[in-house]
């Protein structure tokens, strides 16, 4: 039986990402979530380019960050959330075309720190090309009473 693209138990992560002002500015759409896995789409918006049609590095970083850290969040207990504490990116091809598809995954899930990664693909119609690879760390955050 095929898995739903968004695990209903994880739909709150999609809502949390979509509620982030930067995600709204970038036009991020979370398209898949399951334990240890997250995918999102981002359009190539003129306002995020460094020259017409090609995204600036920070916008590509944001896509990788959101996908990888959302994947980290899928493994946390309800009530806690993942905060990015570091990340690195390798831009291996121009982020041009119609949009980005970022695929986040968990490399290693610890009690406090999760190593997570994302592959970011530049999408142009039906064609895709790897344009960046992101690797970083998310910290489990829990609510504070004060
Ligand atoms: C929390 C920690 C990582 C440090 O941790 P530790 O070394 O273990 O130290 P320790 O626990 O002792 O706390 C020290 C200080 O930390 C603060 N604090 C701690 N706990 C809480 C809390 N529960 N609530 C609030 N604040 C808390 C507090 O100031 C505390 O000082 P205090 O004790 O009050 O005097 C800190 O360096 C930090 O906030 N970094 C910035 C991270 C950041 O902004 N990331 C980017 C955005 S996230 C993102 O984008 C997510 C996303 C992406 C994509 C998709 C979806 C989602």
In which band, very low, low, confident or very high, does the pLDDT at 146 lie, cut at 50, 70 and 90? confident
Write out pLDDT tens, residues 19-29.
999 999 999 99
Centre of ligand 1 from the C-alpha of residue 22, in Å: 18
Q: Tell me, in angstroms, the distance from the centre of ligand 1 to residue 103's CA.
A: 25
pLDDT at 1: 56
CA–CA separation, 70 and 64 (whole Å)? 10
Question: Using CA positions, which residue lies closest to atom 41 of ligand 1?
Answer: 85
**Residue 145 binned pLDDT confidence (cut-offs 50, 70, 90):** confident
- Right CATH for 5-140 from 3.10.129.10, 3.40.50.300, 3.30.70.100, 3.30.530.20: 3.10.129.10
Task: Return the SS3 of 135.
Answer: strand
CA distance readout (Å), 128 to 10, 122, 135, 140: 27, 6, 20, 33
Residue 90: φ, ψ to 5°? -115, 120
Q: Which residues contact 4 (CB under 8 A, 6 or more apart)?
A: none
Q: What is the ipTM of this complex?
A: 0.89
DSSP conformation class of 77 = P
Mean pLDDT of the chain: 96
Where does ligand 1 bind, in terms of residues with CB under 6 Å? 17, 65-66, 69-70, 82-85, 139, 141-142, 144
Residue nearest to atom 13 of ligand 1 (CA): 141
Question: Which residue puts its alpha carbon closest to atom 6 of ligand 1?
Answer: 139
């Amino acid at each position: 039986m095929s898995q739903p693209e968004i695990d209903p138990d994880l739909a709150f992560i999609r809502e949390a990402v979509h509620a982030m002002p930067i995600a709204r500015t970038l036009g991020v759409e979370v398209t898949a979530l399951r334990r240890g896995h997250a995918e999102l789409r981002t359009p190539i918006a003129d306002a995020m380019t460094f020259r017409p049609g090609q995204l600036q590095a920070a916008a590509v970083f944001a896509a990788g960050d959101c996908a990888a850290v959302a994947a980290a969040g899928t493994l946390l207990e309800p009530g806690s959330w993942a905060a990015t504490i570091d990340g690195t990116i390798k831009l291996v091809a121009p982020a041009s075309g119609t949009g980005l598809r970022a695929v986040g995954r968990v490399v290693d899930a610890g009690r406090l720190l999760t190593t997570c990664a994302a592959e970011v693909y530049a999408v142009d119609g039906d064609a895709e090309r790897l344009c960046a690879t992101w690797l970083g760390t998310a910290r489990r955050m829990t609510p504070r009473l004060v």
